[in-house]
Structure 1
């Protein structure tokens, strides 16, 4: 967040008005309670400088983050503090994040705040890719919605960081006004839509970026879920350190944080949710590839794709627009609470479509209803190898036009127990696999030479299409696999007949 390669300075007087119509509130924190809502925010503690030579230690203490008069206050204090691993700092503050609790792809994201002031003071409202633990920074993407540094009290910055354009090479816009930003409350926000992010202050547009603004051969990574962050830093390479003129404590006051979504634009075949949440455990590196492939299929076939890793999307109201939900390479805990599971169950019972790709059968392993919906529970796979797949039902939309037999290199999934109501689409002979542990799975012999690898199912009012294929990134560029996926998704949506007539 500390350096700026490209600055666009605009006057507030000439900034364009924001397009506020057509947005629907989907998440907010009004900070009206007695304490910070732990279901929404987590403290990110530490005093290691945060990559910027910052001087504060972020704590989870009441002294550094608390609610007061219907507002969140993040307070930076000048005090000696020793934290974990014996790290000592001369300042304390707080950093709050929604990682693992709320993340969003696209929307209008705003906060009403009153900023602090003073040399070396650095408040920020920003977003990081939810996949940061898997891909690292800046590959995950960073959207800085609001940053201000004390030595420039009237200047607001909005910035993007991504692979090849981070740190000193980041892409930034700024706006300066006649008064310090600390003089009053302001609403800072972005409108984030496919291939464009627009920055606003008090409803006035001052900056926008699209992929065409990136340096040559750099990737736009702002097509995936990002979580929110609020923090008040002290010192660092960009703002410089406090001096004799800086007073403490410093306070960042946050009246509210709100996230809106634009109602779905009509697509000929409706909308599909792609859900990729992974709990604790192994996470596939193919998720972004699968989402890109599904978006391309949707654009070609006529359905709109929304991607999320946020379990809060599982409510009756928010699931209404979707004709099918695709669990693409999800694994382990897909939900955080039973109300989300209940909303998903009601969605299926109302006739919603479910699509599972690859490790989706490893999700929610302790929930039998989900196992029955998916068709089985993943238990094991031998090493990646090439094996022969036979098409069991050549008339289904997910197999139509595919060869009757083909070789495929992948993980061959074993499932147990399975829903006896599945209708297999792909099968393979497990006795032909290179698997020294095969004898340890007594459920395999009854399948004979026809271990199911893809199937359909009607369960509890819904329609299930599942395929165990799809471990490798390159699978999501394979025409055979993409044809298989598209046919299965259209069937789950109710758009394709099960047999040729």
Structure 2
């Protein structure tokens, strides 16, 4: 009985018109993009990491969630993960934002992919301790400066007083000298020929870990323009704070980061800050009077 029923169903399917059968076939068409996304936006990959440190500190997963949303609202097309981008991910990426502890620990595959990406002119944005790793001389060739893991080269939490040294740079538009509670780094390895362009420095605050480095003036915000051998001109933007996650919501910091990201991607520096989303394709009907 059951075998006869199954045979009848198969026979009916085989004799049905081809159009009828195709209606149940899986579609290969892509889903339409939401109306409020900018189809021509710059393409950003956020490389985040697992949460570390105390509550409210080094919240890399929260950054991935918050800034995926914020950057999309500012007209970008955002991808990202708690792991580095694959070569396929990087193929159409304009900027990689790295907010991950010790991201400069690169496997051979990661190093090759990042090297190729920067050689073709891809932009990098390094936040806080992303530039820490075992080979600061190499990572400095990508972002302009780096620090060696295992060395005492940090203040831990302390008041970080910014001195904006290039207020004319468009990335620093509206940025004033102010102090935020975060962490500053010193004992840096710097790139040369070319070197970095310093946007803001801080005098290292006197903490137990700073020791004799108290008062030393060290760049904390910079840009880096360079060309790897055989490649295209590339850009990197670095902000070395972000120890305290709440500082990402600081208005001056947020505007600066949006401009630095756009600049690193070879886009107009205000393109993310000034983005205005399109009006809804299907406006909501007016509410009925009560």
TM-score with structure 1 length normalisation?
A: 0.42
Which residue of the partner structure matches residue 373 of structure 1? 142
1:341 deviates by 1.1
Judging changes above 3 Å, is the alpha-carbon distance between structure 1 residues 333 and 389 closer, same or farther for their aligned structure 2 residues?
closer
Q: Deviations over 1:200-225 (max 9, x none)?
A: xxxxxxxxxxxxxxxxxxxxxxxxxx
Judging changes above 3 Å, is the alpha-carbon distance between structure 1 residues 20 and 477 closer, same or farther for their aligned structure 2 residues?
farther
Q: 1:457 aligns with which of 224, 240, 260?
A: 224
Which residue of the partner structure matches residue 200 of structure 2? 426
Judging changes above 3 Å, is the alpha-carbon distance between structure 1 residues 361 and 17 closer, same or farther for their aligned structure 2 residues?
farther
1:333 deviates by 5.7
1:327 and 2:98 matched: yes
Contact 1:273-1:324 within 8 A present in 2 as well? yes
- Between the aligned partners of 1:269 and 1:494, the Cα distance in structure 2 is 12
Q: 2:258 aligns with which of 465, 471, 486?
A: 486
- Between the aligned partners of 1:331 and 1:349, the Cα distance in structure 2 is 22
Which residue of the partner structure matches residue 287 of structure 1? 60
Q: 1:398 aligns with which of 167, 171, 174?
A: 171
Judging changes above 3 Å, is the alpha-carbon distance between structure 1 residues 303 and 469 closer, same or farther for their aligned structure 2 residues?
same
1:382 and 2:149 matched: no
Gaps of 5+ in 1: 1-15, 24-190, 195-264
Which residue of the partner structure matches residue 348 of structure 1? 118
Which residue of the partner structure matches residue 296 of structure 1? 69
- Between the aligned partners of 1:435 and 1:295, the Cα distance in structure 2 is 35
- Between the aligned partners of 1:299 and 1:289, the Cα distance in structure 2 is 15
Contact 1:382-1:435 within 8 A present in 2 as well? yes
User: Equivalent residues in 2 for 1:156-195 (5 A)?
Assistant: none
- Between the aligned partners of 1:19 and 1:299, the Cα distance in structure 2 is 30
Judging changes above 3 Å, is the alpha-carbon distance between structure 1 residues 369 and 398 closer, same or farther for their aligned structure 2 residues?
same
Contact 1:270-1:323 within 8 A present in 2 as well? yes
RMSD, aligned α-carbons: 3.2
- Between the aligned partners of 2:198 and 2:25, the Cα distance in structure 1 is 52
- Between the aligned partners of 2:125 and 2:242, the Cα distance in structure 1 is 13
Q: Deviations over 1:52-88 (max 9, x none)?
A: xxxxxxxxxxxxxxxxxxxxxxxxxxxxxxxxxxxxx
Q: Higher relative CO (CA 8 A, sep ≥ 6), structure 1 or 2?
A: 2
Contact 2:160-2:183 within 8 A present in 1 as well? no
1:334 deviates by 4.8
Which residue of the partner structure matches residue 82 of structure 1? none
SS of the equivalent of 2:206 reads coil
Judging changes above 3 Å, is the alpha-carbon distance between structure 1 residues 383 and 439 closer, same or farther for their aligned structure 2 residues?
closer
Which residue of the partner structure matches residue 287 of structure 2? none
User: Equivalent residues in 2 for 1:3-402 (5 A)?
Assistant: 20-22=27-29, 267-277=39-49, 285-311=58-84, 313-315=85-87, 317-332=88-103, 334-335=105-106, 337-362=107-132, 364-366=133-135, 368-378=137-147, 379=151, 380-402=153-175
- Between the aligned partners of 1:334 and 1:463, the Cα distance in structure 2 is 21
Q: Deviations over 1:79-116 (max 9, x none)?
A: xxxxxxxxxxxxxxxxxxxxxxxxxxxxxxxxxxxxxx
Gaps of 5+ in 2: 1-22, 271-290
Contact 1:275-1:309 within 8 A present in 2 as well? yes
TM-score with structure 2 length normalisation?
A: 0.69
SS of the equivalent of 2:129 reads helix
- Between the aligned partners of 1:346 and 1:282, the Cα distance in structure 2 is 32
- Between the aligned partners of 1:17 and 1:325, the Cα distance in structure 2 is 40
Judging changes above 3 Å, is the alpha-carbon distance between structure 1 residues 333 and 412 closer, same or farther for their aligned structure 2 residues?
closer
1:344 deviates by 1.0
**Higher strand content, 1 or 2:** 1
Contact 1:272-1:305 within 8 A present in 2 as well? yes
Which residue of the partner structure matches residue 34 of structure 1? none
1:370 deviates by 1.8
1:288 deviates by 2.6
1:391 deviates by 1.0
- Between the aligned partners of 2:29 and 2:136, the Cα distance in structure 1 is 38
